[in-house]
Amino acid sequence: MPIPNATPSSPRLHLVADDEDHSGCRALLQVLDRIGDKWTVMVVGTLARGPMRFNAIQRAINGISHRMLTLTLRGLERDGMVERRAFATIPPKVEYELTPLGRSLIAPLDTLMGWAQENRPTIEQAQTGYDGRPQGD
């Protein structure tokens, strides 16, 4: 076991380490399966400001359908990232809120977003070069 201290924030490169099987990679894929869809990140980002009602979330995201918001929230709720509180009033009122687990996801997501913002120009430049490149080159 070549890992002396199990500090959570230790900067080991799990993705590259070959001391273990691809268990870390599989864990990453599990998470990407969750947040890699079209709306989950947007919903998490919206709920990061605080509890919000269903229609408020839908208005905030603008483009998400009624159905997909329901499904996305269900998935997040199932994973323990979002808590749902329904009030049996007329009309009904349902509030959604990020759990501590859900909030803890924001930091790593933000790290990825920092990378995305920094490298977007480079990526788009590479894409343009690739698309404009003739076959024989």
Partner DNA sequence: CCGCATCCGATATGATACTG
Partner DNA sequence: CAGTATCATATCGGATGCGG
Q: Name which of DNA, a copy of itself, none residue 65 binds, using a CB cut-off of 5 to 8 Å depending on partner kind.
A: DNA
The CB-of-131 to a copy of itself minimum distance in angstroms stands at: 7
Stretch binding DNA (CB under 7 A), from 9-17, 43-51, 91-99, 106-114: 91-99
Angle between helices 66-78 and 40-47 (to 10 degrees): 80
Stretch binding a copy of itself (CB under 8 A), from 37-45, 65-73, 86-94: 37-45
Residues that bind a copy of itself (CB under 8 A): 2-3, 7-16, 18, 22-25, 27-32, 35-37, 41-42, 44-45, 48-50, 77-81, 101, 104-120, 122-123, 125-127, 129-131
List residues binding DNA (CB under 7 A). 37-39, 53-56, 63-68, 70-71, 73-74, 84, 86, 91-94
